[in-house]
Amino acid sequence: MTFPSRTTNQEIELGTTLQPKFGADGLIPCITQDAATGEVLMFAFMNAESLATTLKSKKATYWSRSRSKLWMKGEESGNVQWVKSLHTDCDQDVILIKVEQTGSANASCHNGYKSCFYRRLADLDDPAFKLEYTAERLFDPATVYKKK
Amino acid sequence: MTFPSRTTNQEIELGTTLQPKFGADGLIPCITQDAATGEVLMFAFMNAESLATTLKSKKATYWSRSRSKLWMKGEESGNVQWVKSLHTDCDQDVILIKVEQTGSANASCHNGYKSCFYRRLADLDDPAFKLEYTAERLFDPATVYKKK
């Protein structure tokens, strides 16, 4: 699967053909949102192969920078993300997917939370930058993943 | 304003102190979401100074890579984003802010849309990768910005 080449700014920004910009490292950022609730579940990167695999399989597939390999979300945990729609931004250098998060734990995050964004600043003016949790843990990673 | 240093994985992933990871280029990705609706409005980068400015002013302030300068959203258009909360992900290398998008046009995107993500693939299986619009234009950029 080859994606259309980048053309003019006009076509990229206001046209109707996907022309994704992969960076110098071959990657495009991807925001993953819960299709039903709008909650942002995670943020990762895709290369052309993972974007193609995502479209073909409908299962969110990223590029793992730490492992340098395709990473089908849920391949270990079973928490597969079924892609419902795929969006891009004005200059087509970011992908946004809306997914149905599935699996027994229904969690996106390896730490056992629905979303990776399970903490926020308790007070924007706090000079100690204290975070507070905004989510309940759905599973304990120690019981799911083998200890490394 | 100096942010806490990165400590252990355990502290970063499960602790309660913000320890943002700025990349080798000094930047951290930022996802901006409408606080009321959950719509993803835009994606940009922050450096330490823009994150500090955002927290101090409560007005979303990014780092413009193309202009190499701080970029207070709305400084030209008036479409200021007031920050309601600031979140981070498990490994604290992404920021998510929830904002109230203001301004006469109430638009985040320079192309005149509420969100930069105003197009999606019409059909995930379409080999021509045709995009369809999912939003109405709120203003015509030609009448707002000076021609370059």
List, for residues A61-101, the tens digit of each pLDDT value.
999 999 999 999 999 889 999 999 999 999 999 999 999 99
Find all residues with CB under 8 Å of B104, minimum gap 6, and list them: B78, B79
Rounded mean pLDDT for each run of 10 residues along chain A, 148 residues in total: 95 98 97 97 98 98 96 92 98 98 91 97 98 95 62
pTM (two decimals) = 0.95
Comparing CA positions, the residue from A87, A43, A85 lying closest to residue B87 is A43
Whole-number pLDDT of residue B104: 84
Proportion of chain A in helix, strand, coil states, percent, rounded to 5: 15, 30, 55
Query: Does residue B118 sit at the A interface (CB-CB below 8 Å)?
Result: yes
- Asked whether the predicted pLDDT for residue B47 surpasses 90, the reply is yes
Q: B115-132 pLDDT, tens per residue?
A: 999 999 999 999 999 999
- Asked whether the predicted pLDDT for residue B145 surpasses 90, the reply is no
Nearest to B89 among A14, A43, A90 (CB): A43
For the CA atoms of A45, A47, A50, A54, what is the dihedral angle to 10 degrees?
A: 70
- On whether residue B143 sits in a domain, the answer given is no
DSSP string for A33-46: EETTT--EEEEEEE
Query: Does residue A29 sit at the B interface (CB-CB below 8 Å)?
Result: yes
Nearest CA in chain B to A56: B125
Distance CA A60, CA A97 (A): 8
Distance CA B1, CA B51 (A): 9
Section B90-94 average pLDDT? 98
Name the residue range of residue B31's domain: 9-106
- Asked whether the predicted pLDDT for residue B65 surpasses 50, the reply is yes
Section B32-52 average pLDDT? 98
Chain B residues whose CB is inside 8 A of the A42 CB are 89
Query: Does residue B5 sit at the A interface (CB-CB below 8 Å)?
Result: no
Whole-number pLDDT of residue A145: 56
* Residue B39 backbone dihedrals phi, psi, to 5 degrees: -60, 135
- Is B109 within any annotated ligand binding site? yes
- Answer yes or no: do B111 and A13 touch at CB < 8 A: yes
- Asked whether the predicted pLDDT for residue B70 surpasses 60, the reply is yes
Query: Does residue B111 sit at the A interface (CB-CB below 8 Å)?
Result: yes
- On whether residue B32 sits in a domain, the answer given is yes
- On whether residue A66 sits in a domain, the answer given is yes
Whole-number pLDDT of residue B148: 42
Section B41-64 average pLDDT? 98
Residues 59-78 of chain B whose Cβ lies under 8 A from any Cβ of chain A: none
Distance CA B93, CA B88 (A): 7
CA-based nearest distance B76→chain A, Å = 18
Question: Is residue B50 helix, strand or coil?
Answer: helix
- Is A125 within any annotated ligand binding site? no
- On whether residue A75 sits in a domain, the answer given is yes
CATH of the domain at A22: 3.10.20.810
Distance CA B123, CA A108 (A): 25
Distance CA A54, CA A77 (A): 18
- Is B125 within any annotated ligand binding site? no
Q: Judge whether A100 and A81 are in contact, CB under 8 Å.
A: yes
- On whether residue B115 sits in a domain, the answer given is no
Q: How many domains does chain B have?
A: 1
Q: Within 10 Å of residue B132's Cβ, how many Cβ atoms? A: 11
Query: Does residue A16 sit at the B interface (CB-CB below 8 Å)?
Result: yes
CA-based nearest distance A75→chain B, Å = 19
- On whether residue A131 sits in a domain, the answer given is no
- On whether residue A18 sits in a domain, the answer given is yes
Cα separations (Å) of A77 from A84, A105, A138, B94?
20, 9, 13, 23
Query: Does residue B12 sit at the A interface (CB-CB below 8 Å)?
Result: no
Amino acid identity of residue B29, one-letter, is P
Radius of gyration (Cα) for chain B, nearest Å? 17
Residues 43-62 of chain A whose Cβ lies under 8 A from any Cβ of chain B: 43, 55, 58
Distance CA B121, CA A128 (A): 43
- On whether residue A86 sits in a domain, the answer given is yes
